[in-house]
Amino acid sequence: MQLTHLNAHGEASMVDVGDKEETRREAIASGRIVMQPETLALLVDGALPKGDVIATARIAGIQAAKRTHELIPLCHSLALSKVALEFDIDVAQSCVHVEAMCRLIGRTGVEMEALTAVSVACLTLYDMCKAVDKDMRIEAVQLEHKSGGRRGVYQRSTDAPIVTGDSAAREVSLGERCDAPSVRVKFLAELRERVGESETVVALDELENCDVAGLKTTLAARDAAFETLGERRILCAINQVMANDSTRITDEDEVAFFPPVTGG
């Protein structure tokens, strides 16, 4: 893995994104500011000396997202199509959770904009409340989700279900990388319940044939529960594009098996 903002000499360098394809990109970042319960109560009641704290922090976050390139040296200036901030008052933990979503159709990711929006919204909350509370802490500013672009979807692992379907929380994520050439195999919805697991890793050298049919054969040999993958109704996607039995499988592919869709 190479740092994209350093050139071969280790010098800072702005990435040329001119040749990248324009895609719909979205990033969600979150953070929180912890404060005294009394401060939070004043904030909720709108009784702080500087007025409506949340509305001010929201505008600050939106403005900050638009000006990220002025703050972070190697960030491109982006024509954001959407910036939205959510504030969640958490009395139990005596804090305000801040979440920012940035979106655009473009050639470069928007996670810096989302992270900047969260950071500046938290700083604004601090500024608005500091007259009554100097012990506030800004914490856990982090990327939650990113989509669009060459590297696919990033989703921070949490306890919250991203993919629901049964009582246990499950999620689809890119997961850890394996050293030996291998593929990650996911089972979705009804199929996940039938095979009894949500994902597994299969080394490419376990496969007699490096295609979907070969993968099914290998899995069925591993456990009879996987024989169900041979049913005609079961569908397959490789790297989130529909595939069939003869589609080739290569290192680091994400293979998903699932039943016919029933949305809408």
Residues that bind other proteins (CB under 8 A): 24, 147, 152-153, 155, 161-166, 172, 188-190, 193, 233, 237, 240-241, 256, 258-264
28 close to 76: Cβ distance less than 8 angstroms: no
Q: Which is nearer to other proteins, 155 or 247 (by Cβ)?
A: 155
157 conformational bin, left if phi > 0, alpha if psi -120 to 50, beta if neither: beta
Shortest Cβ 260–other proteins spacing (Å): 4
Residue among 19, 127, 135, 223 flagged as catalytic: 127
159 classed as catalytic:
no
Measured between alpha carbons, how far is 132 from 137 in angstroms, rounded to an integer?
Answer: 14
Cα Rg, the chain, nearest whole Å: 23
211 close to 248: Cβ distance less than 8 angstroms: yes
Pairing mode, if any, of strands 254-258 and 182-187? Answer: parallel
Shortest Cβ 49–other proteins spacing (Å): 33
Q: Which is nearer to other proteins, 73 or 263 (by Cβ)?
A: 263
Q: Which is nearer to other proteins, 141 or 162 (by Cβ)?
A: 162
Shortest Cβ 35–other proteins spacing (Å): 27
Amino acid at 89: I
Shortest Cβ 170–other proteins spacing (Å): 9
Q: Is 246 exposed, middle or buried (0-12, 13-18, 19+ CB in 10 A)?
A: exposed
Q: Which is nearer to other proteins, 204 or 237 (by Cβ)?
A: 237
Q: So which residues are the catalytic ones?
A: 127
